[in-house]
């Protein structure tokens, strides 16, 4: 009887934790390598996070930006997928521990568990100011936004109605800017004629940023273009503004209380558990400090990549937590492991090849920074569309998302305006 590659005990075992951009790219790149691969994720799907804000603002359905991991690696005979939650790593015994008590031993370990939002020591704010990392987060925020309009329509108290129609997005990075722009379009266009007692055009949208300007990772003139576009969309942008308190009914920004039950958090991230699991040195936002080959100092068989790794660029600045970095790191580590297994030496250190940076502000406007060349406007937005569609992993999703977008673009319609109940339904008599 033949041994299937996935069970062949003679092959070195590569265990990858996390099916995001980094982990999935590593797994795919190892599909033909003489190893066996186990990819573990707590979800059964890969999430295309750059479009998650579209789910939160009712433009897309979750399944359109999520794809079953099993399908992606279906044809790789050496790869198995496990849906499970990792809770620890035994570096000396070379195994990972799952929440259900199982352990899985490895020869090579790739940790790519991503990031969570950083509430800067105020984790109690998360209840009132949800952030946008998971599908559940996105449908939860979508629910909140749509329910706010429904409640405003029924509210007779003018102050309460104004509060319900006030949205505060904390954090002026690409996610915050995209969210604010999308909420503005949802309110001012898609919902404009759906209500009888409120005018969604009167919706107030604030974007709050702690530093002097938004989109810090972009050149100043591009950030300025984005700012102007936001203002045209009806977004109030407050820079140099600190969030001092968040509760059920509003937020205090630099001493100024704003009544709003609709606060969305997009203000910086924290690395996830790998630093703790490994007892490794981390930076101030819990990212593991790795060597030039992305391995953990003293453990050449353990790699940390993506949002949860601290990797300095040649100037000493950390690489940003964006998809291209994660994808390149995933492929790099796969090649590195393969070279080691096949006995090749002299492998070069990881180098990020920055192909440019994009951010979109509402419909038909984006900014693009390609280093020597940078511009904003409709053409940048077309590039944004093409890049995002190309990277959406499978053909079906591309078609669906394109159809949705084409439709929304021409009609200002938003297709996924579902308020889905979060509690399980009550059964008769139960």
Residues that bind its own copies (CB under 8 A): 4, 6-7, 43-45, 61-64, 66, 68, 70-71, 74, 80-84, 102, 116, 119, 123-124, 126-127, 133-137, 139-140, 146-147, 150, 153-154, 191, 193-197, 270, 396-397, 399-400, 403-404, 407, 411, 413, 415-422, 424-425, 427-430
The residue assigned the tokens 């209500």 is 195
**CA–CA separation, 89 and 105 (whole Å):** 10
- Annotated catalytic residue, options 178, 248, 422, 423: 178
Nearer Cβ to its own copies, position 161 or 336?
Answer: 161
Residue 6 near residue 79, CB atoms below 8 Å = yes
Nearer Cβ to its own copies, position 124 or 256?
Answer: 124
Secondary structure E strands in 84-189: 86-90, 95-98, 103-105, 108-111, 115-117, 166-170
Structure tokens at 126: 């998360």
**CA–CA separation, 373 and 379 (whole Å):** 13
Output the smallest distance, CB 392 to its own copies, in A.
12
Output the smallest distance, CB 413 to its own copies, in A.
7
**CA–CA separation, 85 and 255 (whole Å):** 41
Plot region of 58 (φ>0 → left; ψ -120 to 50 → alpha; else → beta): left
Nearer Cβ to its own copies, position 131 or 166?
Answer: 131
**CA–CA separation, 340 and 334 (whole Å):** 10
Nearer Cβ to its own copies, position 162 or 417?
Answer: 417
Structure tokens at 430: 């139960």
Burial tier of 162 (Cβ tally within 10 Å: 0-12, 13-18, 19+): middle
Output the smallest distance, CB 128 to its own copies, in A.
11
Output the smallest distance, CB 264 to its own copies, in A.
14
Output the smallest distance, CB 93 to its own copies, in A.
21
The torsion angles phi and psi of 385, rounded to 5 degrees, stand at -60, -50
Nearer Cβ to its own copies, position 286 or 357?
Answer: 286
Burial tier of 380 (Cβ tally within 10 Å: 0-12, 13-18, 19+): buried
| Helices (H) then strands (E): counts for the chain | 11, 25
Nearer Cβ to its own copies, position 121 or 255?
Answer: 121
Look up 158 and say whether it is catalytic.
no
Q: Rounded to a whole number, what is the largest CA-CA distance in the chain?
A: 76
The torsion angles phi and psi of 197, rounded to 5 degrees, stand at -105, -25
Output the smallest distance, CB 35 to its own copies, in A.
15
Catalytic residues: 178
């Amino acid at each position: 009887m033949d041994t299937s590659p996935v069970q062949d005990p003679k092959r070195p075992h590569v265990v990858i934790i996390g099916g995001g951009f980094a982990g999935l790219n590593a797994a795919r790149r190892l599909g033909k390598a003489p190893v066996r691969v186990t990819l573990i994720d707590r979800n059964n799907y890969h999430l295309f996070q750059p479009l998650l804000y579209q789910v939160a603002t009712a433009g897309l359905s979750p399944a359109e930006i999520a794809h079953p991991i099993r399908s992606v690696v279906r044809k790789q005979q050496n790869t198995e997928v496990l849906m499970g939650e990792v809770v620890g790593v035994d570096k000396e015994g070379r195994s990972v521990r799952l929440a259900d008590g199982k352990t899985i031993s490895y020869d090579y370990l790739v940790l790519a568990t991503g990031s969570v939002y950083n509430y800067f020591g105020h984790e109690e704010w998360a209840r009132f100011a949800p952030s946008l990392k998971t599908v559940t987060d996105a449908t939860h925020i979508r629910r909140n936004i749509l329910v706010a309009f429904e409640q405003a329509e029924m509210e007779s108290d003018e102050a309460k109605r104004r509060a319900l129609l006030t949205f505060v997005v904390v954090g002026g990075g690409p996610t915050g800017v995209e969210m604010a722009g999308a909420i503005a379009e949802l309110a001012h266009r898609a919902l404009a004629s759906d209500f009888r007692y409120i005018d969604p055009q009167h919706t107030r949208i604030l974007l709050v940023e702690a530093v002097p300007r938004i989109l810090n990772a972009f050149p100043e003139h591009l950030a300025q273009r984005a700012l102007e576009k936001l203002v045209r969309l009806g977004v109030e942008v407050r820079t140099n503004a600190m969030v001092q308190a968040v509760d059920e009914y509003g937020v205090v920004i630099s001493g100024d209380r704003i009544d709003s039950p609709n606060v969305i958090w997009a203000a910086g991230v924290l690395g996830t558990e790998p630093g703790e699991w490994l007892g490794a040195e981390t930076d101030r936002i819990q990212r593991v400090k790795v060597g030039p080959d992305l391995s953990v100092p003293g453990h050449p068989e353990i790699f940390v990549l993506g949002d949860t790794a601290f990797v300095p660029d040649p100037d000493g600045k950390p690489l940003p937590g964006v998809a291209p970095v994660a994808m390149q790191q995933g492929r790099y580590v796969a090649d590195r492991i393969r070279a080691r297994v096949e006995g090749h030496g002299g492998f070069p250190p990881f180098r990020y090849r920055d192909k440019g940076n994009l951010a979109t502000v509402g419909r038909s406007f984006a900014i693009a920074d390609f280093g020597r060349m940078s511009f904003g406007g409709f053409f940048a937005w077309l590039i944004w569309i093409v890049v995002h569609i190309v990277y959406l992993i499978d053909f079906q999703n591309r078609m669906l998302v394109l159809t949705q977008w084409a439709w929304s673009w021409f009609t200002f319609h938003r297709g996924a305006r579902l308020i889905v109940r979060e509690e399980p339904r009550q059964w008769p008599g139960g």
